[in-house]
Structures are given as structure tokens and as C-alpha cells.
């Protein structure tokens, strides 16, 4: 199983890369070679096989406040592995989100960036949030037996670190996990379909309500209770993410 920043890096670069190569691609000149691998843990992902590393203080300023989110930080580790260094670059933090897939057998790595409408036209393979969402309905059949990672950045908060918080799945036929910043949600194709039908129905009955588009209705996806009755009441208790 890949660590999430490792899978992201391979997909971004289109193939597996050794740690030295990944580090060189970050453009960072000051790094260290780790002599005693077993005693060194990456402060971000917690991996224990670092061959090269960058000092944590070189990557984050004193005002950085998300330390508690890092897997290895509680051990007071001061180094970050090449994959995490690569994944948290400013360039990647500007993404709205991404889908990464790695074929476990063929090792074909793909990254689909999720970007704004204008950028989606410019970037080859780039999707808007809505297009990504639509893709989820056909994703499972296309991607049987593959590693998959889907993550979205926090709404309206450009520049937060989110890639290391993503979940890596081996995909199942109709469902998978995805991450919105530090929250993990379960995507169930059938449940989502029924909810979208309900939204369409509501739109028809209430044409004056604000323009509806697709929604991730996040808490609904993780709840066991079926939606019923007056949708407006149900709607109030749901956490939504407009796409």
C-alpha cells in the first residue's frame, strides 16, 4: 500500500520515482541523506524508510498551525520525506482537488487535477468540480482493482495543506472514500443517485429557490437513515458542498 503523498507524487509525475529523483524535482537544494533509516520517521506521513529528507523548519514558518494533523509530528521528528516535500508544494496546494489512480498491476499512474472552470479548459485532463462529480458515477467500472485517491481542498481556503490527509482506497464496485481536507466521506453511488433525484424533484416543486446544482451532501453519505418527508427540513441538517 502506498502512503498518500507517495501515490500523489507518482501520479503527478506519471511513474514511480526513487526518493532522490523526487527530491530533485522539488528544486530544493538543501537536504540530508539519512544514514540510520529505522530511527527516522517522516514528520508528515510517518514513513520509516527515508533515504533522503528535508528539515521540517525549512518547509514551514513559525506561524504554521496545523502540526497536529501530521502523522509523525508527535514523535518530535524534524525531517520530511521527499514525497511529502513534493506533495505540499505551493503549486499543489492551489488545486481545488484531484483524483489519482494507480493500476496496481500495470503501475500506470494518472493524476486528474480538479480546478476552476477557466483552468479546466487550459489543463489537459483537468476537470471542474462538477465534472469530477459526474465522473464518480462511472469511475468504479473503469477503475476496477486500482488504487484510488480523491481529495478536495477546503472550500474558500486556498493554500491549506490537504494532500497528506487524503485516503488511499483499493476501489470497490460501487463505493469509495474521498477526503474534503481533513474529513473523510464515503461515496455510495446508489445513495447519491437517489439523493440527486430528490434534489431534482425539489427543484421542480420550488422553482424560485436559488439555482441548484449538484451537491455533495456529505453527512447524508455517511448516515444509515434514508431521506424522507419534507426535503427542506432534511436539508437544514445536512452539510453541503456546492460544486
Interacting residue ranges for Zn ion, rule: CB under 5 A? 42, 44-45, 81, 84
Residue 172 grid cell: 470497490
d(CA 80, CA 17): 17
For residues 72 and 126, which CB has a smaller minimum distance to Zn ion in the complex? Answer: 72
Reduced to 3 DSSP states, what percent helix, strand and coil does the chain have, rounded to the nearest 5? 35, 20, 45
* Cα distance between residue 28 and residue 85, in whole Å: 9
Q: Tell me how far apart the terminal alpha carbons of the chain are, to the nearest angstrom.
A: 31
- Alpha-carbon 221 to chain mean position: 17
For Zn ion, the closer of residues 45 and 120 by Cβ is 45
The answer for residues whose C-beta is within 8 angstroms of residue 74's C-beta and 6 or more apart is none
CB of 84 to Zn ion, least distance (A): 3
Q: How far is the CB of 138 from Zn ion (least distance, A)?
A: 32
Least Cβ distance, residue 42 to Zn ion (angstroms): 3
Our CB check for Zn ion shows the closer of 45 and 192 to be 45
Between 40 and 150, whose beta carbon lies closer to Zn ion?
A: 40
Give least dist CB 102 to Zn ion, A.
17
Amino acid at each position: 500500500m502506498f502512503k498518500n503523498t507517495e501515490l500523489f507524487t507518482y501520479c503527478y509525475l506519471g511513474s514511480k520515482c526513487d526518493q532522490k529523483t523526487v527530491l530533485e524535482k522539488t528544486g530544493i537544494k538543501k537536504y540530508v541523506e539519512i544514514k540510520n533509516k529505522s530511527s527516522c520517521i517522516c514528520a508528515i506521513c510517518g514513513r520509516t524508510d527515508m533515504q533522503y529528507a528535508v528539515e521540517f523548519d525549512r518547509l514551514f514558518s513559525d506561524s504554521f498551525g496545523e502540526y497536529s494533523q501530521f502523522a509523525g509530528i508527535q514523535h518530535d521528528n524534524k525531517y520530511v520525506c521527499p514525497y511529502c516535500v513534493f506533495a505540499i508544494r505551493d503549486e499543489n496546494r492551489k488545486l481545488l482537488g484531484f483524483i489519482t489512480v494507480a493500476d496496481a498491476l500495470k503501475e500506470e499512474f494518472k493524476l486528474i487535477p480538479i480546478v476552476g472552470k477557466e483552468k479546466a479548459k487550459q489543463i489537459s485532463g483537468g476537470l471542474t468540480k462538477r465534472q469530477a462529480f459526474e465522473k464518480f458515477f462511472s469511475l468504479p467500472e473503469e477503475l476496477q482493482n486500482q488504487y484510488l485517491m480523491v481529495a478536495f481542498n477546503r472550500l474558500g481556503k486556498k493554500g491549506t495543506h490537504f494532500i497528506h490527509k487524503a485516503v488511499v482506497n483499493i476501489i470497490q464496485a460501487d463505493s469509495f472514500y474521498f477526503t474534503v481536507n481533513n474529513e473523510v466521506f464515503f461515496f455510495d453511488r446508489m445513495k447519491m443517485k437517489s439523493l440527486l433525484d430528490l434534489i431534482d424533484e425539489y427543484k421542480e416543486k420550488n422553482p424560485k429557490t436559488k439555482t441548484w446544482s449538484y451537491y455533495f451532501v456529505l453527512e447524508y453519505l455517511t448516515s444509515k437513515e434514508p431521506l424522507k418527508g419534507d426535503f427542506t427540513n432534511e436539508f437544514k441538517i445536512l452539510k453541503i458542498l456546492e460544486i
